[in-house]
A and B are shown apart, each in its own frame.
Chain A
Amino acid sequence: MDEEFSHHQRLKAALHFTVGRLCEDIAGSSRKKFSKELVAAIAETTFRQCDIFAKDLEAFARHAKRTTVNSEDVKLVARRSTALYNYITRKSEELASTNQEQKERRRKNTGKKKENGQSGAGTSGNVDCDMT
Chain B
Amino acid sequence: MEDRTTEVVFKKETVGKLLSLNFKDEKTKVTGDAVVLMAEMLKIFVEEAARRCQKQAEVENCDVVDIEHFEKILPQLLLDF
Contacts and interface: CB of A to CB of B under 8 A. Distances in A.
Contacts of A91: 36-37, 40
B20 to A, nearest CB: 8
The prevalent SS among residues of B at the interface is: helix
A65 interface: no
B46 A46 contact: yes
A51 interface: yes
The prevalent SS among residues of A at the interface is: helix
Most chain A CB within a 10 A radius of its CB, from B36, B41, B46, B69: B46
Contacts of B17: 11
Interface stretch (A53-61, A107-115, A116-124): A53-61
A38 B25 contact: no
Interface residues of B, number: 57
Contact of B81 (A32, A62, A80): A80
A55 B22 contact: yes
A81 B18 CA distance: 23
Contacts of A23: 46, 50
Nearest to B68: A38
Interface of A: 8, 11, 14-15, 18-19, 21-23, 25-35, 37-38, 41-42, 45-47, 49-51, 53-55, 57-58, 61-62, 67-71, 73-75, 77-78, 80-81, 84, 87-88, 91-92, 95-96, 99, 126-127, 129
Interface of B: 1-4, 8-11, 14, 17-25, 27-34, 36-38, 40-47, 49-51, 53-54, 57-58, 62-67, 69-70, 74, 78-81
